[in-house]
Structure 1
Amino acid sequence: MTDTNQHALLHDGYDLLSDHYVQEAHALWRDIRSSGCPVAHSEKWGGSWLPTTYDDIHHVAQNPAVFSSRAAEIAGEVPPQGSGLVLPPLTSDPPDHKIHRDLLEPYFTPARVAAIEPYAQSLARDLARRVAVKGEADLGEDYSKPFVLSLLTRFLDVPDDRQERFMDWAIRVLKYGPFDQELRKAAFDEAFADLEQLLKEREQDPGEDLVSHIALATIDGKPISRKHRIGSLLLAVLAGADTTWNALNASLNHLADHPADRATLINEPGLLRTTAVEELLRFYAPLSIARVTTEEVELKGRCIGAGERVILAYPAANRDPAVFENPDEVQLDRKRNRHLTFGVGVHRCLGSHLARMEMRVAIEEWLKAIPNFERISGAVKWSAGNARGPENVRIRVV
């Protein structure tokens, strides 16, 4: 047995959905990264390989021919080729990927995002003022989640009477789906039915919104398939919700625990428009996503067979000391920040402009209404699954 394999075995068998992995993720990734073999393996939850260095994660993300995006979930059995959850363009590979992405890209431009910013400011201001009046709140339930989900349903022009239903199945899919396949299927069935009904309505009475665009979209003059339409719309809901509210929740939790950083943003609000949001996104990157090998490949001396899952833990890449100076410190004025929070390569996050605006506006309006607050809950519990973030964070206005 080589030294590389001996080191590798020290961290093999990790459990992606265990409390230890979820609560101590960064410590585990740091240990793997510094062990002499920065790629670990586990047979749990359908099996996976876990690279932990910035360069390895960047390499996998930049090579879709070898590391396919056809199955993005980090847990569960790897579906056979041609099956599994279809979420174009997230689960699309080149050359189809560009075609699928180009269908949606016009609706996620900086101009589109700027047009909805006044609504985002009004929404965040109203939610923050409610928390200020109450004096105590749960960051997620009373602020981050309603802000992100309300803005998202407005962005998609979902009717007001359906917003609560959309939020309900989105939360069930994201929070409980990784642990319970039956619950996951039931939530997805509801989602598919709701989205298909919305698409049918927009097909008959289209507007200028993304849903109408997807309902009427064509490729080479032919309407896109039902599965493609529903999958693209589902992706817009799920990807736009879970990652952003987790990053926002984590950032506000950080400001509750670090009054010096809070004071910095109050005294220098311009930092939120330059470096601060990027640093919070680096430090509290929520997303890990999967790739599936198309052929046998070697990564840091470990042989990965064809059809096996490789996890891109973007938060691990963002704490690599080979790339980031003092990576385990939040530095709100960090100038050089090549974080991978939004991914890299052809699959770089389509909604990055929207996410950045949401983070900035939500933190700006919160600090205007609540400049001083503290966390009153116990130890922070982090969520499991593709997206990681703090749950049940209660704060007190002081």
Structure 2
Amino acid sequence: MSRRSAEEHAANWDLRHEDFNDNDFLYDVYSVMRRSAPFAHTDTPFLSATPGGAWVAVRYEDCYRILQDWQHFSSNPTPEASEQLAGDLVITLDPPRQQKFRKVLNPYFSPARMKALRPQIRDETDRLIDGFIEAGSGDLADVAWRQPGIVFFKYVLGMPIEDVPLCVELTDTALNGDTEEARMAAWGGLYQHLHDGITERSAQPPRDDMIDVLLSAEIDGDKLPFGDVVANAMLLVQAGLETTASAMSFAFHYLATKPEERDRLIAEPDILGRAVEELIRFGGSIHGIPRTVAKEVELNGQTFCPGESVIVNYASANRDGSVFTDADQCILDRRENRHLGFGAGVHRCLGSNLARLELQVGLEQVLARLPDFRLDPDRAPHFHGSSVTRGFRSVPVLFSPAERSAA
């Protein structure tokens, strides 16, 4: 079957379309969308149940303004989408309740608390690398997909790391499953698994972890309903696993195909922090966050009416050439980089400090211990596109065998 043109896709964007397993082509479509009009439209929204489809913000400035303007572009879902939610989620709330909720959670994702996790994240990453380092070949997607889950479950959420593979599988299917039935069944399975685990935890002595925080949290003097505790734990699992894993898998693949860039990061470790930000911008693991129009508003010549759905496309915004010089190039030491990889405004990513640290440590350890890693010519990498989160499920590599760590 022949592929549709970029112009055809731009006229009615559907991220789940099979053509978008080609990531470069997707960005060609975004380029057409940005040139054509400030806002695109889609009749096939995957992030909104609005019968009339959804508007899509694709330019940086428009995306930024929408994310900042919660009074007009609310995080509250449409009535149709609300029916699919499992509870009152911090990501679907607006101030002032949203700010009160964030105030409870923010201390557990502070820069200082996350920095203190660096040794544990390094040890967990090394254990994963140890699983294949002596063989001279392995799959870096195993590191990308397992490290964030182990760190989050063991050191933040406070649940057994044995749960990680199942929760990764359920989260992945819930976001990226081939059918709506499969996606909804996975959401239900993830909710039930966490419900059972949190029920068991609620009968145990308190611990200093996120489950304990949610169980004891009070908003306006009232404890969270148990269903909201489970729903927000599920949200944190999804946010803490899928997006970071996708970004890390993309970073590993990019460096495995660009030996000069890999070698530069080894030779210039001081630019690694900027490189992490650039890989987040360039890789684009998140392609759409929904907002609901709360009050009529005009933005960049477009009038939005109450009840309409607007999808904020982070990935397209991060390739906007009016904001980023050479936007379609990955410049590892890029200095001006106000990317939207973690969003903006009151709903800016709660776990951004943890995600950055996991990415940085993951890259540090792979570069230090597998300095000559490159793609295995006999095994093709597997990219999973056609969804709101996009990344590599397999990054097979070859390298010089080395000893396991002493840890």
TM-score over 0.5 (shorter chain): yes
Identify the residue that residue 386 of structure 2 maps to in structure 1: 384
Which deviates further from its counterpart, 190-199 or 150-159? 190-199
* Kept in 2: contact 1:137–1:396 (CA 8 A): yes
Identify the residue that residue 125 of structure 2 maps to in structure 1: 124
Identify the residue that residue 115 of structure 1 maps to in structure 2: 116
Write the letter of the residue equivalent to 1:245. A
* Kept in 2: contact 1:256–1:373 (CA 8 A): yes
Identify the residue that residue 284 of structure 2 maps to in structure 1: 285
Shift of 1:81: 7.4
Question: Which deviations, in whole Å up to 9, do the C-alpha atoms of 1:231-269 show, x marking residues without a partner?
Answer: 211111000111100100001111011111101111111
Match of 1:52 among 25, 41, 58: 58
* Kept in 1: contact 2:176–2:183 (CA 8 A): no
Which deviates further from its counterpart, 147-156 or 186-195? 186-195
Measured in 1, the distance between the counterparts of 2:96 and 2:364 equals 40
* Kept in 2: contact 1:88–1:100 (CA 8 A): no
Equivalent residues in 2 for 1:1-398 (5 A)?
A: 11-23=10-22, 24-35=25-36, 37-45=37-45, 46=49, 47-71=53-77, 79-80=79-80, 83-85=83-85, 86=87, 88-140=89-141, 142-155=142-155, 156-176=157-177, 179-205=178-204, 206-273=206-273, 275-287=274-286, 288-375=288-375, 376=377, 377-378=379-380, 381-397=383-399
Closer/same/farther in 2, CA of residues 82 and 329 from structure 1, 3 Å limit? closer
Q: Does the residue aligned with 2:116 lie in a helix, a strand or coil? A: helix
* Kept in 1: contact 2:342–2:348 (CA 8 A): yes
Measured in 1, the distance between the counterparts of 2:281 and 2:268 equals 20
Measured in 2, the distance between the counterparts of 1:256 and 1:343 equals 28
Identify the residue that residue 3 of structure 2 maps to in structure 1: none
Unaligned runs of 5+ residues in structure 1 are 1-7, 72-77
Identify the residue that residue 403 of structure 2 maps to in structure 1: none
Q: Does the residue aligned with 1:44 lie in a helix, a strand or coil? A: coil
Question: Which deviations, in whole Å up to 9, do the C-alpha atoms of 1:299-354 show, x marking residues without a partner?
Answer: 44344443222111111111111111111111111111111111010001110000
Closer/same/farther in 2, CA of residues 188 and 82 from structure 1, 3 Å limit? closer
How much identity, in percent, do the aligned residues show?
32
Write the letter of the residue equivalent to 2:383. K
Write the letter of the residue equivalent to 2:190. A
Closer/same/farther in 2, CA of residues 241 and 163 from structure 1, 3 Å limit? closer
Q: Does the residue aligned with 1:100 lie in a helix, a strand or coil? A: helix
Unaligned runs of 5+ residues in structure 2 are 1-6, 401-407
Measured in 2, the distance between the counterparts of 1:245 and 1:272 equals 18
Q: Does the residue aligned with 1:34 lie in a helix, a strand or coil? A: helix
TM-score where L is the length of structure 2: 0.87
Measured in 1, the distance between the counterparts of 2:345 and 2:210 equals 24
Q: Does the residue aligned with 2:101 lie in a helix, a strand or coil? A: helix
Which deviates further from its counterpart, 38-47 or 205-214? 38-47
Shift of 1:65: 1.6
Closer/same/farther in 2, CA of residues 363 and 81 from structure 1, 3 Å limit? closer
Shift of 1:200: 2.5
TM-score where L is the length of structure 1: 0.89
Write the letter of the residue equivalent to 1:330. C
Which deviates further from its counterpart, 43-52 or 92-101? 43-52
Measured in 2, the distance between the counterparts of 1:82 and 1:329 equals 39
Write the letter of the residue equivalent to 2:399. V
* Kept in 2: contact 1:199–1:212 (CA 8 A): no
* Kept in 2: contact 1:200–1:215 (CA 8 A): no
User: Root-mean-square deviation (CA), in Å?
Assistant: 2.2
Shift of 1:50: 1.4
Closer/same/farther in 2, CA of residues 256 and 150 from structure 1, 3 Å limit? same
Q: Does the residue aligned with 1:320 lie in a helix, a strand or coil? A: coil
* Kept in 2: contact 1:69–1:91 (CA 8 A): yes
Measured in 1, the distance between the counterparts of 2:61 and 2:332 equals 24
Measured in 1, the distance between the counterparts of 2:381 and 2:56 equals 27
Measured in 1, the distance between the counterparts of 2:306 and 2:127 equals 51
Q: Does the residue aligned with 1:20 lie in a helix, a strand or coil? A: helix
Measured in 1, the distance between the counterparts of 2:384 and 2:56 equals 19
Q: Across the two proteins, how many residue pairs are aligned to each other?
A: 380
